Amino acid sequence: MTRSASWSWETGSRTLADLGELRAVHREVHEPAVSPDGERLGVVVVRGDGAFAVAENGELWEPELERAWHLRYTPDGRLTALVRIDDMWTVAVDGEPWQRRFPFVWNTGFSADGRVIAAQVKEGMEYTLCVDGQLWDRSFLSLRSYALSADGRRAAALVQVEELAEADTEKFAQGTWSVAVDGEPWEQRFIGLWSPAISPDGEMVAVQARTDRFEYTIAVNGVPWESRFACVWEPSFRPGGAGPLAPARVGSTWRLMEEGEQLWATSFVQLWHLRFSPAGERAAAVVAPEWGRFTVAVDDRPWGCTFGDAVLPPVFSPDGKRVAATVGHRRRWTVAVDGQVWEESFDMAWMPVLGPGRGPVLAKVQRGGEYGLAVDGRLLSQRYELLWDPVLSPEGDKVLLRGVQGGKYVRRVVPTGELR
Amino acid sequence: MADLADMQVVDKGLEKAVAGLSEERIQEVIGSVLSQAVAGRLKLYLQTCVHCGLCAEACHTYVSRDKDPDFAPVAKVKDTLAVMLKKKGRVDAEFMKNAARVAFVECGGCRRCSMYCPFGIDIATMIMTVRRICSLLGVVPQYIQDTTNSHSATSNQMWVQPDDWIDTLIWQEEDAQLELPGLRIPLDKEGADVLYSVIAPEPKVMAQLIANMAVVMNVAGIDWTMSSADGWDNSNMAMFSGDLEIMGRIERVHWERALELRVKRMVMGECGHAYRGAVYDGPKWLGWQGPPLPMIHAVELYYDILREGRIEIVDKLTEPVTIQDPCNIVRGSGLHEKLRYVVAALCDNVVEMSPNHEHNYCCAAGGGVINCGPPWKLSRLKSIKVKAQQLGRTGASLCITPCHNCHHGIEDIIGHYQLHMRTSFILELLVKQMKMPEGVRG
Ligand code: SF4
Ligand code: SF4
């Protein structure tokens, strides 16, 4: 059962928060966040006395804060914020600050089910990861990015493990970086590491690894692939698959590699943002079949249409049958679905939302400074000051709209057939 | 006659790299870069040259070094790439060390010479090819290599830790609020009109510039944001050190941050090389025909908001002021008229350098030359006497430098040649001379 099955899908509208009212009372009202189920809107406010607070559906959190920012809802709908209290930082969850306080904490991340919350932490002059309020045993000279497994039980981070004196280019070339998994660094050292990814079963950690000045590969659990490349991009795991896949540069073109072997026959001028269908049987990536022209290739077959500005990461429908992406051409943005481009274009378009079967494709778009909802390429007449991505019900027959109109946050459920 | 003092400079990056370098390896690398097609094109350039010397008169190093023929653009190619081509890569480590010195220190790739060449021979591209070969062999001056290492490890130029960056933004917001109550630096705001990116020296040593820009953005009523995550730094020294893979990687991070945030355009601070990296070299390597979103240089932003009356200037400088035209935004992108419009709004007494606009001399700091660090500072300053003379002739007491490299390069020139002048970014003048909202400032 998808999580959204438990949400209220009763059609109709409910006004849940009034930003106008908050603005009348408080000195500042920052950018709001909305829970995945649309039931709650959280926003940082600055009160007349200069203290920060978080308001959720108009109610202020208890603790008085010197500062609050980076409001993010977990996938299971808890509101997190980075907060400063008594000159120390921590994470507050639904108004409860973690017990531990740090000189600095940032970049909250969540497991897929939302139960686990992690954040990067500075302690003393060192860096580590904090998972659900618990610090890793070890800290490092630097920690630059991390990944959580889907269930949140494992975490992997890129860490600097060797001291580097100022301008010590020799030592840098010997490798000063490693990957720490649940706090324990790999023995291996690398010149550079990027974008850790954890396999769906949590058993494998893969990263882009720079093994020499001009030699790159993918390292899995500390072991680099045998093949070396001129460059690589981020590895990712196919649901139900074995080892990671990653784009790699050979000569001056890019290929898709699986466990070090070429998977797709075609080489591209560019190949990135690999995505899989939910069951893992199909793969899609953004590719440039020729210089300056981008499109989506699905299982090695590029769409017939190409775009000059950019193509953003593709997304599969829940049944894996359809693929869509935001595309940019001549400074206008729209959506393409299975190689067909929408007729209307916008100042900006967000990631398309697809339901099961042949239901409509939706996307939040921006035009003339206002937000709107585009359905199968047509912009609906309703305009919003703020809008979040639409969510389709598990059956795809209803859509949850979360938007601010006239200063008021409204949660609306509409049958997809009535979208106009 | 090359400068003996320069030849005696000890640069650890170069010394150590050449110590273990075999001739086989050199030949292999040169062969890989100078493939038949590339070699053919370069040979054609060299054959086309009629040795008229017009490019020499255009080069600040040649003119500043009393017309020493060793500093002529063609000589720089002849002493490096031409030999590699002729000998089919059979050169030794000492040759490579000298080639690195010429390519990294004696040419900043300013492209002034090609403008004067009747055949448009692109000396800068040939020199950048030498740098690429040097980089593949690890023969790179220590300090610019360190900067490239920082780009590799941190996606920013100066080893700025993520917490330091965010803390700086928060602190600069609090500082700027003293000037303009209610001001904000909105972080990671999706759908904003503008993402503002800076170069890493700003949080490291010139954080005030971030507060200044926040004041301008807020008064002009721009819907803007800055990124708390990597991608906030738009600088790119890997582009100049010859590490194209890291150059491409960090430009990807920079542009993808803007695309993730779904902003409509990127605005960058007053920097020249970053503009080149973000608009030309980076996108090209990544397969984009140009940047995926419009890139607006700070000079263009100031021009737009002044013209549209979104900010108003209430105080003008009366002292004599001159303008440095940064190579990458003027010769490279034609922003000199907009630059003059902005300066004219701020200053009553502009004394132009001669020559100026796209004919202006480089500051000798750009192209990665200043990033080669302290060992090469004296050499760089000897190579830019012509700029000191140019500046001195204006009689100006202030030089406006809308580029970080120009800013530091000219500060060094002022110190070395004892000119009675100071430098300023436009932004520093703008915040002092613009009208603040009612009741904010006397
Ligand atoms: S410094 Fe400029 S003018 Fe001199 S050779 Fe290099 S590109 Fe040409
Ligand atoms: S101006 Fe052109 S043709 Fe004349 S010497 Fe220079 S490169 Fe050769």
B390 part of a folded domain: yes
Same domain, B131 and B164: no
Residue B441 lies in a domain: no
What residues contact A340, with CB distance under 8 A and at least 6 apart? A305
Structure confidence at residue A357 (pLDDT): 84
User: Which of B269 and A242 is assigned the larger pLDDT?
Assistant: B269
Residue B440 resides in a domain: no
How many Cα neighbours within 13 Å face the side chain of A108?
26
Q: Is the peptide bond before A356 cis (omega within 30 degrees of 0)?
A: no
Burial class (CB in 10 A: 0-12, 13-18, 19+), B335: buried
Q: Per-residue pLDDT tens for A358-381?
A: 899 999 999 999 999 999 999 999
What pLDDT is stored for residue A63 in this prediction?
A: 79
Q: Give domain status of residue B442, yes or no.
A: no
Closest Cα in chain B, distance from residue A231 (Å)? 7
What are the structure tokens assigned to B367, written together? 């192209």
A420, pLDDT greater than 80: no
Which residues are within 8 A (CB) of A117 and not within 5 positions of it... i.e. 6 or more apart?
A: A74, A78, A80, A91, A93, A108, A109, A110, A131, A132
Residue B85 resides in a domain: yes
A74's tokens: 């977990």
Structural tokens at position A155: 């975490």
- In A281-320, the residues whose Cβ lies within 8 Å of chain B are 288, 291-292, 294, 308-310, 312
Taking contacts as CB-CB distances below 8 angstroms, the residues of chain B near A371 are: 191
CA distance B429 to B32: 49
Closest partner residue to B287 (CB to CB) among A31, A166, A269 is: A269
| pLDDT at residue A2, as a whole number | 65
How many CB atoms lie under 10 A from the CB of residue B343?
A: 20
Over residues B399-425, the mean pLDDT reads 97
- B316-349 residue pLDDT tens: 999 999 999 999 999 988 999 999 999 999 999 9
Same structural domain for residues B385 and B418?
yes
Look at residue B147 and tell me if it is in a domain. no
Q: Give the Cα separation of B442 and B435 in Å (integer).
A: 10
Nearest CB to A214: which of B136, B191, B252? B136
What are the tokens at A409?
Answer: 């946050």
**Residue A215 vs residues A250, B9, B242: alpha-carbon distances, Å:** 11, 31, 15
pLDDT tens-place string over residues A38-68: 999 999 999 999 999 999 999 999 878 999 9
Burial environment of residue A133 by CB neighbours within 10 A (0 to 12, 13 to 18, 19 or more): middle
Q: One-letter amino acid identity for B313?
A: I
pLDDT tens digits along B47-84:
999 999 999 999 999 999 999 999 999 999 999 999 99
In the DSSP assignment, the letter for residue A2 is -
Å from CA of B303 to ligand 1 middle? 30
- Asked if B221 is an interface residue toward chain A (Cβ–Cβ < 8 A), one would say no
Q: What is the percent of chain A with per-residue pLDDT over 90, rounded to a whole number?
A: 95
**Together in a domain, B388 and B322:** yes
Number of domains chain B is built from: 3
DSSP B184-240: ---BS-TT-SEEEEB-THHHHH-THHHHHHHHHHHHHT--EEB-SSTT-B---SHHH
Same domain, B227 and B323: no
The HSE-up count of residue B302 (CA atoms within 13 Å, CB side) is 32
pLDDT (0 to 100) of residue B4: 85
In this complex, the residue of B163, B245, B286 whose CB is nearest that of residue A104 is B163
Interface of B with A in 65-124 (CB under 8 A): none
Residue B146 lies in a domain: no
Give tens-digit pLDDT for B161-193: 999 999 999 999 999 999 899 999 999 999 999
B18 belongs to a structural domain: yes
> DSSP string spanning B133-194?
HHHHHT---HHHHHHHHHHHHHSSTT---HHHHHHHHHHHHHHHHHHSTT----BS-TT-SE
- Cα angle: A179, vertex B282, B167; to 5 degrees: 55
Q: In this model, does residue B438 exceed pLDDT 90?
A: no
Using one digit for the tens of pLDDT, what is the confidence trace for A284-312?
999 999 999 999 999 999 999 999 999 99
Asked if the C-beta of A256 comes within 8 angstroms of chain B's C-beta atoms, the answer is no
CA B234 to chain centre: 11
Same domain, B129 and B157: no
Instruction: Indicate the residue among B84, B117, B140 that finishes a domain.
Output: B140
What is chain B's mean pLDDT, rounded? 95
Which of B50, B61, B81, B123 best tests ligand 2's pocket when mutated (most atoms within 8 Å of CB)?
Answer: B50
**Domain-terminating residue out of B81, B111, B140:** B140
In this structure, are B261 and B220 located in the same domain? Answer: yes
Q: Which residues of A touch B244 (CB under 8 A)?
A: none
Closest CA to B59 of B109, B22, B11, B104: B109
pLDDT digit string, tens, across residues B8-41 = 899 999 999 999 899 999 999 999 999 887 888 8
Neighbour count for residue B300 (Cβ, 10 Å): 20
Contacts of B233 in chain A (CB under 8 A): none
Tell me, yes or no, whether B113 and B207 share the same domain. no
Q: What is the mean pLDDT of chain A?
A: 96
**pLDDT score, position B440:** 64
Whether the pLDDT of residue A239 is over 70: the answer is yes
Whether B224 and B255 share a structural domain: yes
Which comes out higher in pLDDT, residue A63 or B44? B44
Q: What is the DSSP letter of B68?
A: -
Q: How confident is the model at residue B439 (pLDDT cuts 50, 70, 90)?
A: low
- What's B282-351 look like in SS3? HHHHHCCCCCCCCEEEHHHHHHHHHHCCCCCECCCECCCEEECCCCCCCCCCCCHHHHHHHHHHHECCEC
B281 with B332, same domain?
no
Domain that holds residue B134: 4-140
Q: What is the pLDDT of residue B442?
A: 39
| Same domain membership, residue B420 and residue B277 | no
Residue B2 has pLDDT above 80, yes or no: no
**Which among B414, B434, B416 is positioned nearest to B424, based on CA atoms?**
B414
Which ligand 2 atom minimizes the distance to the CA of B58? 1
Query: Helix, strand or coil for residue A245?
Result: strand
Do B280 and B168 sit in the same domain of this protein?
yes
Of A164-168, A238-242, B132-136, the poorest mean pLDDT is in A238-242
B294 C-beta neighbours (distance < 10 Å), count: 14
- B161 shares its domain with B219: yes
Query: Which distant-in-sequence residues (6+ apart) come within 8 Å of B411 by Cβ?
Result: B423
